[in-house]
Structure 1
Amino acid sequence: MITSISVVNVLGQEVIRATPSATNYSLDMSVLNAGVYVANVTTAQGEKTIKLIKK
């Protein structure tokens, strides 16, 4: 189960935070400008960092 998602830009500023408490979750990134972001996804099993590129 996903407990939290944090998306940060290349400057380290948090731009999106969500606490879905679900096994599947779609994150709406339409409000973000094109660029590179990092998502930190926390689950009951641990944490995963994912690089995101929005065109």
Structure 2
Amino acid sequence: MRAEPAPAGSTCEFYRSNINLLERVDVYWLCWSDGRLVVKDVMPGVPGAV
């Protein structure tokens, strides 16, 4: 689902914008390095994303 590789030395997670598993939701991709947010991206309307 990721469009680009994670920055070196960072930790990344995907988050759903809604808990309803049956609807299209935005999915957020967030990466941290040394306690700072270094990347934030959104994939709009991903169907059935977990």
Query: Taking structure 2 as the reference length, what is the TM-score of the superposition?
Result: 0.41
Q: Which structure has the larger Rg over C-alpha atoms?
A: 2
Query: Taking structure 1 as the reference length, what is the TM-score of the superposition?
Result: 0.39
More strand by share: 1
